[in-house]
Structure 1
Amino acid sequence: MPAEVRDRDALLASYDVTGPFDEPELQSVADLATHVCGVPCAVVNLISEHFQHQVAAVGITPSVCAREDAMCAVTIGEPGPVEVPDARQDPRFAANPFVTGRLAHIRFYAASQLRAPSGAVLGTLCVFDEAARELTAEQRHALDLLAGQAVGALELRRAYRALTVTVQELAEARDELLRSNSQLAAFAGQVSHDLRNPLAGVTGFLELLADHPALAGEATAVAHVDRALAAAGRMRDMVDDLLAYARVGGSLRTERVDLGVLLREVLDDTPPGAFGATRLDLGVLPSVRGDRTQLRAVLANVVANAVRFARADRPLVLRARARPAGDRWEVEIADNGIGVPPARREEAFTLLRQVHGPGTVPGGSGIGLATCRRIVAAHGGSIGLDDGVDGGTAVRISLPAA
């Protein structure tokens, strides 16, 4: 297929020839063309890859016809304007359905190309009659001038549409910036609040040691230092979590990832004694397409939450299952911990939001599940919470199959 034909749809895309085309200026051009040339019919045509779009017309009702039936589809390939006193005598048009009677009985036909500022031919301004005739030199020149006016109207339409799109994009960008600034302010406030508590602990215990160097002997001093270090550790963990959250959503290094192998690696890396008398019930997990490092972070967060929110009155149960769902896998990792109230399960994925009351469990940053959602979303998947084992929590993850 020649490049000129192949690119016609792209050429006309900015003029929106497929939408409503109510342009008074183009209608005026067609009307003037009939008066100037003394003919009953005039049409402004835009010609795409497969169709001729009559975007303004006098003497006929504007419509769309197949490109192979259009007389003007021949004209746009000519080096200049075309005039045919009797189309039955011209080999280019004699067999055309608008000439033979199948669609019309055109005899006289004249057209000027609509040339965009780039030089590309968009279509034609044509006049025609069922009687044979010829144009005078003045009429021919006027038809060419009117074709230029039609191009001007089309360019104004294109520029207006482009301006409308730009204004809309700017409005959306402004709204997004306002939303982002609002979220950033809230985010900064939360981080400031959550880091202030452990920082106050570190400061307080160190000041206590500074003010009372011989406070109750070495054992008490060691205890204060341990508590200060623990508070500093919580700050470090929160900063690490925030950095991990910020990194999600960049380019993924996708490969075939065996989730079963990955989960066992996460369990092997869990500190000794974290599970105690835990019962592991790990079914066969599938291979998915994804970034191994980021998916490992998802599983690590899920396992860490199961350990953190385990019930003190019974051994932890950790169960993993998977089932196919079309071109995806749905993976479920469930525990028998304290669970998450159904009304707050979606809230659990909000950054820096903790759905359990203060003192319910040892510290969490409220970042882990938010990070999991960002990672899974970057993979084109989804994640949510459901009922787990005996009142615990089940994390359901949907990911593309390998």
Structure 2
Amino acid sequence: MPAAPYPENEAERQKALEQYNLLDTLPEQAFDDITLLAAHVCQTPIALVSLIDHDRQWFKSKVGIDAEETPRAQAFCAHTILEPANVLVVPDARVDPRFADNPFVTGMPEIRFYAGAPLQTPGGQAVGTLCTVDTKPRGLTPEQIQGLQALSRQVVAQMELRRNVKQLSQTLEKLQRTQASLIQTEKMSALGRFVAGIAHEINNPVSFILGNLPHAQSYTEELLELLHLYQAAYPQPKSPVAVKLDDLDLDYIAEDFFKLLNSIKFGAIRIEKIVKSLRTFSNLHEADIKSVQLREHLDNALDLSLSQLQDSLNPFKIEIIKHYQDLPPLVCNIAELNQVLISLISNAMDALQERVEQTPDESSSSDYQPTLTLTTDQATDETGRDFITLTIEDNGIGIELDKQDKIFDPFYSSKPVGKGTGLGLTSSYEIVVKQHQGKLLLNSTPGQGSRFSIWLPTDLPLPD
């Protein structure tokens, strides 16, 4: 049995077929309706929408047979696509040298009659056929041939419609992502300007406090020393002084005042640290793309998130575990990556809080310890490309399985209404995957926790 030769334009034809993304898809009513009409028009028991792949013909739609596909070498349709402008009619396959010893002729389903109209794309590529088959020798009237050609054009129209709808869907999704990214970028830009201004305003009085605390301590020590000298010189003070001394616990005041000064100092240092983290987070004074050490920025994002938690109405203690490896500097837009780190760490803390607030008969038992694990490392993917990886893992509430596929979609949030905008993870995906050519991966088990892994390539160039 001579197999049909490959068309001269086979590479272009195959590329055109792949662009429709139809191979191995589920049945669709629109195609099935056309196939049924083809069987009625040609009055045959079998009709097929056949797509010719590299080494097989695959049936997008079928009437009268159960097969999903057959080898291309045995396909009548492989001959049909050699002449895209014509309908191939085989009145009796037993006497046609191309098909006489074909196993589908000599065996089941014992094909005798075949008529196939090529599915010719707007670009002129024949990607398959609309064909009709009978187990008895026969022919087609001119009207039936015209009807088969008309229906083949309808198949192509459905293919084009399907592709255009998918492209439109992809375009809408891209627009949604762009809109979400623009909203988030503008929001973060405004926040950055606000933070920079507030940080400056806070920094001045904090610097004043920290600058004057050593003088306050020195003056206090001198005054206490003077007081002790007075006590030594006048061990029996006059009655008003003696009464006042009885009312005061002078030794306690002297001891506690230094503790008070230390508390003020520690509080001011904490404010100073938060201000530094805020200024690092906003990064308005820095170039968009620069070489940075990620560890400092990861710790800053953690400090900011912990400060927010401590100031909340229901603070709780989180165990922080760090597995930091020595990393080379990374070229990136650190202002945008800071957004990602803040978003992912804040989401992790929300998940921990939600599990803490669960009722005792669920997972929030007395031995539950909210834990946040931060890991930095290096890795190489299957293409041999080198990455720096950051992993943010929590043992919080986890994400339900039916929500995990949607988690990066614009305006989608797995949080209760009013607690999430649906922009944080979308923007994070845009920043990591689209802008930094990296990967943002999720692994989550409902009720046990989530792990977000950020993969950032090490070969992004510095701008000129």
Deviations 1:330-356 (A, max 9, x none): 5379xxxxxxxxxxxx99x759x9xxx
Amino acid at match of 1:109: Y
Deviations 1:33-59 (A, max 9, x none): 112212111111122223322111111
Amino acid at match of 1:41: I
Judging changes above 3 Å, is the alpha-carbon distance between structure 1 residues 188 and 97 closer, same or farther for their aligned structure 2 residues? Answer: farther
Deviations 1:165-203 (A, max 9, x none): 11222222222222222222222211222344668999x
Judging changes above 3 Å, is the alpha-carbon distance between structure 1 residues 112 and 239 closer, same or farther for their aligned structure 2 residues? Answer: closer
1:116 counterpart = 2:121: yes
For structure 2, the residue ranges without an aligned partner over 5 or more in a row are: 1-5, 208-275, 301-323, 329-337, 346-375, 393-454, 460-464
Question: Secondary structure in 2 aligned to 1:134?
Answer: coil
Judging changes above 3 Å, is the alpha-carbon distance between structure 1 residues 19 and 174 closer, same or farther for their aligned structure 2 residues? Answer: farther
Among 384, 388, 391, the alignment partner of 1:381 is 388
Q: CA deviation at 1:82?
A: 0.5
Residues 8, 48 of structure 1: 8 Å contact kept: no
TM-score (ref. length: structure 2):
0.45
Tell me which residue corresponds to 2:309: none
Question: Secondary structure in 2 aligned to 1:246?
Answer: coil
1:148 counterpart = 2:141: no
1:168 counterpart = 2:173: yes
Deviations 1:184-237 (A, max 9, x none): 2222211222344668999xxxxxxxxxxxxxxxxxxxxxxxxxxxxxxx9xx9
Question: Secondary structure in 2 aligned to 1:174?
Answer: helix
Question: Secondary structure in 2 aligned to 1:125?
Answer: strand
Amino acid at match of 1:106: I
1:82 counterpart = 2:88: yes
Amino acid at match of 1:42: A
Question: Secondary structure in 1 aligned to 2:387?
Answer: coil
Tell me which residue corresponds to 1:246: 288
Q: CA deviation at 1:19?
A: 4.9
Tell me which residue corresponds to 1:265: none
- Mapped to 2, the partners of 1:149 and 1:189 lie a distance apart of 59
- Mapped to 1, the partners of 2:325 and 2:206 lie a distance apart of 43
1:34 counterpart = 2:29: no
Query: After alignment, is 59-68 or 71-80 more displaced?
Result: 59-68
Q: CA deviation at 1:152?
A: 1.5
- Mapped to 2, the partners of 1:384 and 1:152 lie a distance apart of 47
**Matched residues, number:** 251
TM-score (ref. length: structure 1):
0.52
Judging changes above 3 Å, is the alpha-carbon distance between structure 1 residues 201 and 33 closer, same or farther for their aligned structure 2 residues? Answer: closer
Amino acid at match of 1:246: D
Tell me which residue corresponds to 2:189: 184
Judging changes above 3 Å, is the alpha-carbon distance between structure 1 residues 135 and 120 closer, same or farther for their aligned structure 2 residues? Answer: same
RMSD value, Cα: 4.4
Q: CA deviation at 1:301?
A: 7.5
Amino acid at match of 2:78: A
Residues 195, 282 of structure 2: 8 Å contact kept: no
- Mapped to 2, the partners of 1:64 and 1:243 lie a distance apart of 62
Aligned residue runs from structure 1 range 2-13, under 5 A: 4-13=9-18
Q: Identical aligned pairs, as a percentage?
A: 31
Residues 120, 127 of structure 2: 8 Å contact kept: yes
For structure 1, the residue ranges without an aligned partner over 5 or more in a row are: 203-233, 249-293, 306-328, 334-345, 354-372, 386-396
